[in-house]
Amino acid sequence: MPKHINRAIVAIITVASLALTAFAQVLPSPTYTQPARQDSVMVVPDRLDPHVRENDAGRFGLIHSEVMQRLYDVSGQKSEWTLGTSILGNPELEPSAMGMASISRRYPAMLSGIYTTRLGYDPSRLSLNGENGILFEERHGVPVDTPVTDVAWERGAFAGNALHLDFRRLITDSVTLDFGVQSRSNKLSKEYDYQNVTSSPYFALGRDSSSIPFTGRNIAVNSMHVQPVLTWRFGLGKAFFKMNYLSLENADNTSHKVLLDTLDLAKRTFQKPPYTIDEKVVTYGGGIEIYPMRKLTVATSFHYGTHEIMEDSLAVIGYGTKTWRDTLGIQRTDSLYYDTEHNYTYNTVLGDASIRYATFLNPSVHFQYEFVNTDDELTDFSKTYYQDREIGYGQISDTLSFVFFRAQAGMQRNSSLLDHVDFAPAYSADATFNLPFHLKLNAMLRHDNKFPDVKEIKLVETGRLSFPNENLDYERRDRQALNIGWYSREVFYGLGLRHESAKNLIKQRWVLGEGMESVNEAFRWTNLGEASTWDWLFKIGFRLGNWKFYLERGQVLDREEKIIDTPELYYKGGIHWQNRFVQNRLGVSVRVDWQWFGDRYDCTVNEEGMPELEHMKKYLALDFEARMQILSFELYSRIENFNHSIYMPASGYTPEGLRFAYGIVWTFGN
């Protein structure tokens, strides 16, 4: 598509959006309610239904448009959110959840072990680190008339347990306790081999999977996350205190290539054993919100935390040679290798302040800041790196007749390890219009900036390989979207157009086809010059009796420069059936959800120790779930990777075949 046409279309969308006070409606976080007769309720036809309480934080994002969850090996061991075909990176959990921004970029285990409540999604909110959308929890501290104890326990058919607890109680008339726990255990990392006996359902989409030998590796995961929140309501406002304690002991696969048997592609051999990841996180936070006048709200919060990350049994990676002479004067050369143990700690201070006046356009001012001191510890090297980031912006938002809108404009600041300071403007606008004939129009635009993090500038990673580059520039990013949908009680159709552009995208050199002469250079961070993409999105959902169907498809229309680590097509959807029996005392539901990931490339290390581009073939992740609700509890069973897809989500990984699980969800109010 010629550049002048691109610019004209962008200008039309921008002008039209601003003329209409543009801004996309934020999907609120689904508030907690005690389970009705069937908790797996069909909410609306324009998205997937939310799952009941989950033991995997990543799954809470799936109900939102474009948001997908990529799993690595065993469910819960490692997962991340991705955003369809977007070139601007992944959505992130809001910083206040763990007392640190961008946790899936900074934690090697990503979302593993993280406790959350149900999540809302805001695609256009300005954020500290230029995240590609924010997933935020429902509000804590909401008074509850009846105490709520919500327990979900899950057991894998062959190994592992998981627990999710959501406990809410009024301690006094003015103090509320929210207590959350998430735990998962799959103790050992081991390789396995399906035998030629019935190891999985024979009805796996038309093929007898009992005759499919398949080798892989189950990765250990042991985590415990405890999160108490105390909220005190008083005459002129409220205050809260929050704590996080996360202990995670996971294993992970290296970036080395998994070798395939040339005669039997279902047989796979791992070059390297798994390395271990220990995360110990303790954060404390508190905040206050006061109402000095009837329409005026002033709020501030502060979080402090330590995030210790220890990696051991890392792969041996060389980085050069050293020449020396022995006592006889003979010159000798030794190879130099990175440590096989790496410890680093993020010491974080996170805070925010805001002031809001409830009047026409609801003007408000927001300020967020984050200070991160990173202690990098190796065998013969130790250093602390300092960086801080701030964002301040003004905001207006209101509901006027048939339009809901919000606009934000401000400035981002980044102090990059005290080397230099950058200032960059940021703004966003988003509007939703309720039109005649059941139509709804949504328009948004966002311009923000993503600054290189300490991991990309200073830290060497030899597990999942990455090498720093101190000369990185920050990303300048733009995203515009226009969506139109036809809504009725039972049927929904939606069509969307997206445009994204960026300067200086931070990628590893192999994405450009560069640096393939050595591992150190191929996996080194660099800046991609300019990139832009036009994507379109189609959605359809409808309810038919006790059935609900949903399908979403996103595809690239035009991409000026191919970015090989980003897919150009995806699907997601689900089929859901529910009914009640025995005079409405017994609730039964069955659902099948799927995510289809398009082709992309990753970089791996081959048998010769050299980098090699590896094709990540398209794959379908199909999950089956059946639930039965009796009074206040539900029994469920789940089969993940139900179609027995032999896929690779990234280099170094293989799926675990079919994963069986069963569990119970129990809610009681005492």
pLDDT at 581: 83
Model confidence band, residue 476 (pLDDT cutoffs 50, 70, 90): very high
- For the stretch 156-186, pLDDT in tens is 766 678 888 988 888 888 999 999 999 988 8
Q: How far is CA 601 from the centre of its chain?
A: 20
Q: What is the 3-state secondary structure (H, E, C) of 84-115?
A: CCCCCCCCEECHHHCCCCCHHHHCCCECCCCC
The pTM of the full predicted model, rounded to 2 decimals, is 0.88
The residue among 461 and 640 whose pLDDT is bigger is: 461
Given a cut of 60, whether residue 319 has pLDDT beyond it is: yes
pLDDT at 210: 45
Lowest mean pLDDT among 54-68, 90-104, 106-120, 508-522: 54-68
Which among 216, 218, 219, 211 is positioned nearest to 260, based on CA atoms? 216
pLDDT at 575: 93
Model confidence band, residue 53 (pLDDT cutoffs 50, 70, 90): low
Q: Which two tokens stand for residue 410?
A: 């401000």
Model confidence band, residue 580 (pLDDT cutoffs 50, 70, 90): confident
The residue among 621 and 160 whose pLDDT is bigger is: 621
Q: Average pLDDT, stretch 539-565?
A: 91
Q: Which two tokens stand for residue 599?
A: 């082709």
pLDDT at 10: 47
Model confidence band, residue 196 (pLDDT cutoffs 50, 70, 90): very low
Given a cut of 60, whether residue 3 has pLDDT beyond it is: no
Given a cut of 90, whether residue 256 has pLDDT beyond it is: yes
Model confidence band, residue 268 (pLDDT cutoffs 50, 70, 90): confident
Q: Average pLDDT, stretch 193-207?
A: 45
Beta bridge partners, 487, equal 492
Given a cut of 80, whether residue 56 has pLDDT beyond it is: no
pLDDT at 418: 63
- For the stretch 122-136, pLDDT in tens is 999 999 988 999 999
DSSP 19: H
Q: Average pLDDT, stretch 439-443?
A: 94
pLDDT at 46: 79
Model confidence band, residue 611 (pLDDT cutoffs 50, 70, 90): very high
65: CB partners within 8 A, 6+ apart: 47, 121, 537, 539, 552
Q: Are 620 and 649 in contact (CB under 8 A)?
A: no
Given a cut of 90, whether residue 350 has pLDDT beyond it is: yes
Q: What percent of the chain has pLDDT over 90?
A: 53
Given a cut of 80, whether residue 202 has pLDDT beyond it is: no
Residues 431 and 444: their CA atoms lie apart, in Å, by 6
Strand, coil or helix: what is 488?
coil
Q: SS3 helix, strand, coil % of the chain, rounded to 5?
A: 5, 55, 35
Q: Average pLDDT, stretch 278-283?
A: 96
pLDDT at 37: 38
Strand, coil or helix: what is 211?
helix
The residue among 147 and 574 whose pLDDT is bigger is: 574
Residue by residue, DSSP assigns 52-91 as SS-S-GGGGGTTSTTEEEEE-SSTTTSEEEEETT-SS---
- For the stretch 392-428, pLDDT in tens is 999 999 988 889 999 999 999 998 776 788 999 999 9
Given a cut of 80, whether residue 55 has pLDDT beyond it is: no
Model confidence band, residue 531 (pLDDT cutoffs 50, 70, 90): very high
